[in-house]
Every structure is written in C-alpha cells, then in structure tokens.
Amino acid sequence: MDELLLAWFAAHGRELPWRGTRDPYAILVSEVMLQQTQVERVVPRWRAWLERWPTPEALAEASPADAIREWQGLGYNRRALSLHRAARAIAAEGWPDDLTELPGVGPYTAAAIRNQAFGEAVLPVDTNVARIQERTGHSFRPEALQALFDLGATTCLARVPRCSACPLAAACPSRGLRYEPLRRQSRFEGSFRQRRAALLRLVAAEPRPLAELDGEALDSLRRDGLVRVDDGLVALPS
C-alpha cells in the first residue's frame, strides 16, 4: 500500500510551500497554523509570517502584541502566544531534544517536526492519518506522511470517501462504506468565540477603556494572556 500511495502522491500531491523546506522553525509555524485552520487560508499567512520573522530569533525579538496582530484572522489566537513563547525558548536555549518542552508543542506537533525537519523515522498521527490507517488496516511508513495528509484531505474523506478515485481502493477492506457525520465545530456567528475575536480586534487597533468592553469576553482573554489591563485601559500584552 505504501508504494501505491507514494506513486499516487507523486502525480497528485498538493504543492504546499512548507514541503520545500527542512527548516524546523518554518515547519513549526506551519504546524501551529494548521492545527485549526484550513490549508488554503494558511498558505499566504505562513508566507507573510516567515517574511516578517524568518527565524525564531527574529520572532523572539518581537513583542507578543506584534505576534497577536500578525495572527489576526487565523483564529484561536492563543496559538500566536504559544508560537512566540516557543521562539523565545529556542532563541535562548536552542532546540530541545524533547520538542514537547516547547510551549504549545504536544506529541503530534513534535513528531511532525521530527519527521519533516529532521528526517526521523516517526509517523505523526493526526485525524487524517488515523482514519486512513483504521480503514485500510495498514500501518504506513513515515515517508508516506505527506501522501497520507493529501489522501485524507482530498479522497479518504471523513463521511463519504471518494473510493473511486482512491489508489488504495482495490486492497482496502472499507471500500464503499459510508460513515456517520462527525460532530461539527460549533457555529462561529453569534458565538462567544466571535465576541472574543471582536474584542481582540478592537484592542489590537488601540487600547480601549475597560468600561466600554464586553466584560465576560475580556475576562476570558485575560486568562489566556491575550490582553492586559492597566489604569483602566485594555491593551495587548507588551
């Protein structure tokens, strides 16, 4: 199955800019951005981020506020703070042997960096990879990672897989099956997440008087370290 998948990937793989680098920092940025954001939205933002801060040392010299402002529109802004803190840790101490020591880096992200940047024989298992391995009953080799990403994103879909276009269909025991819809993310419009995002945009533009702001959303952002309150004014962290 690995050979079939890799042959398919050679002909149909997506051209994503981070696939052309072994720079662990560039891959870290891509992985953090991709955690809860679609690939199409990430590509231009990844390029802009790396153009502004091409190294962890460059990002470490920026303020948390700068990182939050650059992140606007990608959602889940705590990721910007985690990435900034990780850059400061790397700038100060270098890359740790255990990448999960970096802020915001869990076992999956650590494995993804080890595979893509350092060429280690480890297969990070995200939702797409897990789904394909479960359906095929096959444990894929680490070098099939990018092909698994693309197959899961374009063909072996969560609910209605496109088995007629799948290079593994002939040997797949799950061919033709349909699946229950997955629980969808709660609606953004009118949600508390939207209130948080709206408040953060206001504060990112300029400090705002505490009394003018949504208190519940403000408390939530303060707990996440995304805003600070000084002398009755709410601002981004310095």
Alpha carbons 71 and 86: distance in angstroms, whole number: 15
Alpha carbons 78 and 161: distance in angstroms, whole number: 33
Centre a 10 Å sphere on the Cβ of residue 39 and count the other Cβ atoms it contains: 15
Give the strands of the sheet with 208-209, arranged side by side. 208-209, 233-235, 228-230
Alpha carbons 5 and 184: distance in angstroms, whole number: 29
Centre a 10 Å sphere on the Cβ of residue 139 and count the other Cβ atoms it contains: 9
Catalytic residue among 3, 31, 120, 216: 31
Longest CA–CA span in the chain (Å) reads 67
189 is catalytic: no
Instruction: Read off φ and ψ for residue 100, nearest 5 degrees.
Output: -70, -5
* Cα 156 versus chain centre, distance: 20
The continuous run of DSSP H or E covering 151 comes out as helix 145-154
Catalytic residues: 31
